[in-house]
Chain A
Amino acid sequence: MARTISYREALNEALAQEMERDESVIVLGEDNAGGAGSPGEDDAWGGVLGVTKGLYHRFPGRVLDTPISESAFVGAAIGAATRGLRPVAELMFIDFMGVCFDQIFNQAAKFRYMFGGKAETPVVIRTMYGAGLRAAAQHSQALYPIFTHIPGLKVVVPSSPYEAKGLMIQSIRDSDPVIFCEHKAMYDTTGDVPEDSYTIPFGEANVVRDGDDVTVVAIGRMVSVAEEAARELSTSGIEVEIIDPRTTSPLDEETILESVENTGRLVVVDEATPRCNLATDISALVAKEAFGSLRAPIEMVTAPHTPVPFSDALEDLYIPDAQRVANAVKSVAGWTR
C-alpha cells in the first residue's frame, strides 16, 4: 500500500527492509548513529541529515560510526564487500570524494576486471550532492559525472521518494559497486511510496511525462524542475516528453533515442557543470545515433562552469531552474533552418 513519505523516509525504509531481509547488510559512516563514545544518547543523529536514524537500535552491531577517515572506512566497506558483507557506506557529501577517491576508482571499480572476473564487490556508497542549501563550494557539487566516467562503477541518481526506495533496494542487492547520489535539497520532498519492498532495475529510464514536441532528459532533482517547466509549456501548447534515466551508469540509451526519434528535439537538463557532464554525454549519444531524427540543435541546460557560489543571490542563478528549461525548450521547439 502506498502512502506519502519523504525522500529521507523512503531511503531509511529501504535500508531497514534490506537489513531485515539480509544479515550481511551493514551501514557505516560518520555519525550514521552519532554519539559514539559520548556521555549522551546513542543514535543521536542517525546520519547528519537523519537518513539512518533508528537503524542503530533496530539492528544492533550493524550500524557503525566511523572516525572522519573517508579513505579508511570507504576502503573498509569495499574490503568487507569482497568478504561476504553488503556494506552501505555513507560518504557524507559527494564533494568529499577527493579524500577517498582512490579506494573507489582504483580499488572497488577495478577489482572485477583486474582480477579476471573473479571478484564481486557488492558495496553501496551513499552520498549527498547538489546545490540549493547555501552550503557553498565544497558541499554543493553535482559530481556524479566523474563516477559515471569510471568503468566498473554504477551510478544512481534518484529523482523522487519512490525512485529513492526502489533504487536503494536494487543497489544493495546489486553485486557491483554502486554510487548512490542523493540530492540534499530533496530529503524533505514527499511522494507516494509503497510500504512493501520493491526494486527498480538499473539502466531502465522512467518516462516521467509523455509528449510529442520536445524530449527533455533530466537528471536527479532536475526531473522536478523539468516537470515544472513542462506544466508551464503545456499551457502555451508545447508538450514535452520527460525522461529520467535513473542511473547514469548504466544509461538507458534506447529510451532516450526512441523518444528523440519521435520528437526530433532534445534538451538535456543537468545540475553538473557543463564540461564532460551527462548533458554533453547524452547530447553526443543522440548526435551520433539519432542524427537523422534531429530537427533542431540540441540544447543543454546546466550549471555554469564555476564553483558553486555561497550567496543566495548567486546560488539561485547557478542552479538550472524551470524558466531556463522552458526557454531552452522553446528555442528548440521554434527552431527553423
Chain B
Amino acid sequence: MTDTLSTAVSHELDENALLEAYRTMRTIRAFEERLHDEFATGEIPGFVHLYAGEEASATGVCAHLDGRDSIASTHRGHGHCIAKGVDVKAMMAEIYGKKTGSCHGKGGSMHIADLSKGMLGANGIVGGGPPLICGTALAAKQRGTGGVGVAFFGDGASNQGTTLESLNLASVWNLPAIFVAENNGYAEATSSSWSVAADNIADRAAGFGMPGVIVDGFDFFAVHEAAGEAVQRAREGGGPTLIEVKFTRYFGHFEGDQQTYRAKEVAEARAKLDCLKRFRARVTETGQVDAARLDAIDTQVADLIDAAVEEAKAAPKPTAADLETDVYVSY
C-alpha cells in the first residue's frame, strides 16, 4: 500500500524557500492593504475584492507549482496572481484601468490573468474556474507534461453546480487536479455555516471519490504540507484532491462593504492567528531565518508597492483605438 503514500517526500523548506514564501505573503498583504487605502480615495474604478488574511493559502499552494502548472482563481484573485508570479506592477496598473496593465486595462481587478504563467485569470463568475481546471489538467495529462491544475474557489462556489460537476469529472477522468476550497466564512454577506449544508466543504470529497482534508488557512506550514501531498499525488497519477482551507477575510466582500453582518472575528484573527505574524514568529524562534532578513523584505515590498501605485497612476489609459482590438485572433 505504501506506493500510494508519500513517505519519501518531505516538505521541509530551506531558508531561501522560507524567505520566498514570506515575500509572497508580504507582497499580497501590502498590495491589498494599499488597495484598501487607495480605493477609499475614489481613484480606483469598479469592484475590488481583497484577499488580505488569506495569503497562506495562495502562497502555500503555489509554492509547489511551476511552469507546467496552471491555476484558476476567483473574484478575490490578487493573491493567486501574485503567488503564481504575475507581475505586481502590471497588476496594479490593470486595477487602475491603465494600458500598461496585465490586460491592457480591458480586464480589471476581477480578470487579471497571465497565461504565460499558467494563471488562467481571476474570475468574475462564482464557480467559473473549476471546469476550466479540469481542462488544463486534462491538457497536462494528454500531453504528458506532469503538470497539474489548481482551482481556487470559495465557500460560495462550493455550492455551485459547476464546482460539483468538476469534482466529479476530475475524479472520473482521474485528472491531476487540486481543488482548493478557500472557506473564509462568507459568500458575500452569507455565512458559510448557513449556506454549506455539508458543514464542511471537505466532506463533499467523499461523494466524489477523492480525499478531502481541512487545513488551518492561517498557517502557511499546514497549507504547504497538505498542498505538497496533493500536488505530488496528482503528478504521480493519483488523481484529484479537495483541500478546504479555513480562515477569515480581513476586509469586506468588496471594498465599500460595511460588513454589518460580521462579528468581532476579524480583529481577533488579526491579533492571534495572522499568517504573517505566526510565520515570522515561528521561523525566527526556530532559528531558521534571521528577523533582519524578514525586515529587509518588508522594506523591499513596501518600496515595490509604492512604485507600483505611482507608476499605475502615471500610466496612460487605453484609447479609442484599443476598444475593438483583441476580440478574436482573426475575424
Contact = CB atoms under 8 A, between A and B. Distances in A.
Interface of A: 24, 26, 61-62, 64, 66-67, 69, 71-85, 87, 102-103, 106-107, 110-120, 151-152, 154, 174-176, 203, 250
Contacts of A76: 131-132, 134-135, 138, 166, 169
Contacts of A83: 70, 135-136, 139-140
Contacts of A176: 328-331
A116 B91 CA distance: 12
B329 A175 contact: yes
Given A106-B124, A111-B121, A117-B325, A72 B330 contact: no
B326 interface: yes
Contacts of B195: none
A79 B134 contact: yes
B102 A75 contact: no
Sort A-B residue pairs by CB-CB distance and give the 5 closest, nearest first. Answer: A75-B131, A79-B135, A117-B326, A79-B132, A116-B103
Contact of B131 (A61, A74, A82): A74
B52 to A, nearest CB: 24
12 contacts: A74-B131, A75-B131, A75-B162, A80-B138, A80-B142, A85-B142, A111-B113, A115-B102, A115-B111, A116-B107, A120-B329, A250-B331
Contacts of A78: 131-132, 135
B327 interface: yes
Contacts of B107: 114-116
Contacts, number: 164
Interface in B306-331: 325-331
A63 to B, nearest CB: 12
Contacts of B326: 112-113, 116-117
A149 B248 CA distance: 41
Interface string B129-166: 01111111111101100000100000000000110011
A62 B142 CA distance: 8
A72 B136 contact: no
A95 to B, nearest CB: 17
B210 interface: no
A26 B131 CA distance: 17
B40 interface: no
A106 B128 contact: yes
Interface in B68-126: 70, 72, 101-107, 111, 113-116, 120-121, 123-125
Contacts of A102: 125, 128, 162
Nearest to A151: B327
Interface string B2-19: 000000000000000000
Contact of A114 (B111, B165, B330): B111
Interface residues of B, number: 49
B115 A79 contact: no
Contact of B139 (A69, A79, A103): A79
B138 A71 contact: no
A226 to B, nearest CB: 27
A112 B121 contact: no
Nearest to B119: A115
Nearest to A102: B125
B104 A116 contact: yes
A38 B329 CA distance: 41
Contact of B136 (A26, A79, A118, A203): A79
A118 B135 contact: no
A64 B141 CA distance: 13
Given A66-B169, A71-B162, A75-B132, 5 more contacts: A69-B166, A74-B131, A78-B131, A83-B135, A112-B327
Nearest to A28: B138
Contacts of A72: 130-131, 134, 162, 165-166, 168-169
Contacts of B134: 72-73, 75-76, 79
A118 B113 contact: yes
Nearest to B325: A117
Nearest to A123: B135
Given A75-B131, A79-B149, A85-B143, A113 B113 contact: no
- Scoring A62, A72, A120, A154 by chain B CB atoms within 10 A of each residue's CB, the highest score goes to A72
Contacts of B130: 72, 75
Contacts of B111: 110, 114-115
Given A79-B139, A79-B149, A118-B115, A113 B132 contact: no
Contacts of A154: 328, 331
Nearest to B143: A84
Contact of A116 (B102, B136, B328, B331): B102
B291 interface: no
Nearest to B169: A72
Nearest to A108: B132
